Structure 1
Amino acid sequence: MELKDLADELEIISRVYERRFGVERTDDWLVLKLHEEVGELTQAYLAASGRSRDRGEEPGEADTAFRAELADVLAQLLLVARRFDVDLEAEVERKWFRWRHLVEPQDEDGVRTHVREAAAPGA
């Protein structure tokens, strides 16, 4: 799924959230909600890495919470980008991929192995 399509689907779900919980999804709310989600991600990371108080979670719950918060941050980020008409793919290309010419073989070690393995005959 393309990022734009994902953002459109998230917009629909976010509108359900607005309707169901009576939250007005203003520009400020979207950005502040992103900040809230990053805070929750930080909290979940600390729990998953054993650096917060024991909350009596079952094994694996902290990892599940961390994964869920990553999804929340991504979703909220895509909603903010959509609201402000930011093409994230183009911005990542402009901001990050301008460094492609500096990539050396060791920079790719272990990064794309799953892609190569899946494409290999008999995989």
Structure 2
Amino acid sequence: MEFKNLQTQITKIFLANLKRDKIKISEDYLMLKINEELGEFMQAYLVHKKKCRPEKYLYSTQSKKEMAKELSDVVGLAFVISKILKIDLEEALTKKWITREWVKKK
């Protein structure tokens, strides 16, 4: 699936879920939500690394799946935020990471 199509579909699903749950979208809500999702990813990471209470331990395959699910939430929210803020995320990623246009030269 192409980047922009993926971003559009994720945003559409996210906004539909907010509407279903009667949650008003705002930039503040999105900033809080991505922090919540990052926290959930960090918790999954700690479980995977067994840096948590033993009763939370999971088999490695399950903990890796949980990390993947939570990381997909973080990335998905980044897609949504960029769409709402009208940031071309594909272009930004390219300029930051691929062409290095946005990296300070030493």
Task: Out of 74-83 and 49-58, give the one that drifted further.
Answer: 49-58
Larger radius of gyration: 1
Cross-structure match for 1:20: 20
Helix, strand or coil at the partner of 1:55: helix
How far apart, CA to CA, are the structure 2 residues paired with 1:58 and 1:90?
A: 38
Paired residues for 1:1-123 under 5 Å: 1-56=1-56, 58-59=58-59, 60-99=61-100
Offset of residue 57 of structure 1: 5.1
How far apart, CA to CA, are the structure 1 residues paired with 2:71 and 2:89?
A: 17
How far apart, CA to CA, are the structure 2 residues paired with 1:52 and 1:70?
A: 19
Q: 1:28-59, CA deviations, whole angstroms, 9 ceiling, x for partnerless residues?
A: 11121111111111110010111111235552
Helix, strand or coil at the partner of 1:75: helix
List alignment gaps of at least 5 residues for structure 2: 102-106
**TM-score with structure 2 setting the length:** 0.82
Offset of residue 19 of structure 1: 2.1
The root-mean-square deviation of aligned C-alpha atoms, in Å, is: 1.8
Query: Counterpart of 2:87 in structure 1: which amino acid?
Result: V
Identical pairs, percent: 28
Query: Counterpart of 1:62 in structure 2: which amino acid?
Result: S
Q: 1:37-92, CA deviations, whole angstroms, 9 ceiling, x for partnerless residues?
A: 11111110010111111235552332221110011111001000001111112112
**TM-score with structure 1 setting the length:** 0.72
Query: Counterpart of 1:64 in structure 2: which amino acid?
Result: K
> What is the aligned residue count?
100
